[in-house]
Amino acid sequence: MKKRNIKALSITELASAITGLDEQRHRSDQILQWLYQKGVTRFDRMTNLSLELRRLLDKRFVISSLEQIEETHSNRDQSAKYLLRSEAGTLIETVLMESRGYQTICISSQVGCPLRCSFCRTGTGGFERNLRSDEILNQVLHLKMNRIEPRHRFNIVFMGMGEPLLNLENVTKALEILNSQHAFALAQKRITLSTIGFPDIIERLTASPLKFGLAISLNATTDRSRRKLMPQAAGIGETLQAAESFARNRRMRATLEYVLLSGVNDRPEDARRLADMTHGRPFKINLIPFNEWDGAPFKRPTEARIDRFVKILLPRAPAVTVRRSQGTDIDAACGQLRMRRERCRD
């Protein structure tokens, strides 16, 4: 019999596998604790389970993990990038950022991305496959066990490679385990899912019990320019409507990410339209001056253009922050690490 990957099971699937072995349901909670709180990689270490159950688990399941093959630290800030390899040889990149005492793990949900947004380097590399839920969770687990102080609180952002809502089944499985008290026990404010925004999927997630915050990659103030930058993105009106409903339902603000591209979306009229469409709504705006990469078709705006944009936006828009990208000297922006490594292997 082929062994099953125990970390790829949802909480319900794990519980039914355990009750199917004539064990009590709460044993599956204990297994979650061993896997995700203690990070064990062998069933014989699960010492509060009977020897018989440990042997049965070992016969039927495997515990997956990721092998670290590269770690690079920034000279400019507290970020570090990690290139991790799955058993199947897939390269996955994960970034750990530190700012004002908070550590944030930026995780990938796909290898590559099929959406080809024109400002994004990941999009130029094509799409390989969706990550399984255990590959998503193992990125978090690897850093939690090896690079984060025990009991130190950390945040998770789905802002690495890929569009998480195109890998919904695996991402929702992972979210359930990130939320679970028996596993990572991460509250809503500690997890942010960043997406170009598929309104129908956001509506479904609004109705779900999963706890996380939402960030919409907006990047334009007219549908025409948004479609040019992000050919697969939905209209701005319906996207913001879905994000607003999500935010009101969770009693929180949704983040609107806006990558500033010189001469493209950083003009005074863009700032005025952005202020108009967000005024009085439960949003916060995160401006991200473009991080240039080799061959990029866009330029980063000057500080003067960024300041002008912020000054127009501030009086009417909800909370506005300018995010200075971390890890620019270590290719930590989405997709850059894996792509450089693959170029090296060619």
Q: Are 89 and 100 in contact (CB under 8 A)?
A: no
Q: What x-and-dash track marks residues 92-111 binding ligand SF4 by CB under 6 A?
A: --------------------
Which CB, 164 or 301, lies closer to ligand SF4? Answer: 164
CB of 111 vs ligand SF4, minimal distance in Å:
11
b/e burial code for range 26-46 (CB count within 10 A of at least 16 → b): ebbbbbbbbbbeebbeebeeb
| Residue 227 makes contact with ligand SF4 by CB under 6 A | no
344 is catalytic: no
Nearest to 81 by CA among 325, 257, 346, 338: 338
Is residue 30 within 8 Å of 49, Cβ to Cβ? yes
113: contact with ligand SF4 by CB under 6 A: yes
If one asks whether residue 115 binds ligand SF4 (CB under 6 A), the answer comes out as: yes
Burial, 85: exposed, middle or buried (Cβ in 10 Å; 0-12, 13-18, 19+)?
Answer: middle
- 101, exposed or middle or buried, with CB in 10 Å at 0-12, 13-18, 19+? exposed
Supply φ then ψ for residue 238, to 5 degrees.
-70, -30
Is residue 193 near ligand SF4 by the rule CB under 6 A?
no
For ligand SF4, give the closer residue by CB, 161 or 242: 161
Applying CB under 6 A, which part among 98-106, 113-121, 172-180, 311-319 lies near ligand SF4? 113-121
Residue span binding ligand SF4 (CB under 6 A) among the ranges 21-29, 157-165, 181-189, 207-215:
157-165
Piece of the chain touching ligand SF4 by CB under 6 A; list 59-67, 112-120, 234-242, 313-321:
112-120
What the block records as the tokens of 143 is 């850093």
- The minimum distance between CB 32 and ligand SF4, in angstroms, equals 30
CA-derived radius of gyration, the chain: 21
Query: Strands 91-99 and 102-106: what pairing?
Result: antiparallel
- In the chain, the amino acid numbered 114 is P
Please confirm, yes or no, whether 98 is among the known catalytic residues: no
- The yes or no reply on residue 218 touching ligand SF4 (CB under 6 A) is no
**Catalytic residue (choose from 106, 113, 117, 334):** 334
Residue type, 95: V
Task: Give the separation between CA 177 and CA 180, rounded to whole angstroms.
Answer: 5
Q: Which residue among 86, 142, 162, 317 contacts ligand SF4 (CB under 6 A)? A: 162
CA angle 241, 242, 248 (to 5 degrees): 90
- Of 43, 93, 40, whose CA–CA distance to 69 is shortest? 93
- Asked if 316 interacts with ligand SF4 (CB under 6 A), we say no
**Comparison of 9 and 260: residue with beta carbon closer to ligand SF4:** 260
Catalytic residue, from 93, 135, 163, 257: name it. 93
- Residue 163 is a binding residue for ligand SF4 (CB under 6 A): yes
Pick one of 60, 116, 250, 272: the residue that binds ligand SF4 (CB under 6 A).
116
Q: Which amino acid does the sequence have at 128?
A: E
* Residues within the interface to ligand SF4 (CB under 6 A): 113, 115-117, 120, 122-123, 161-163, 196, 217, 334
Residues annotated as catalytic are 93, 334
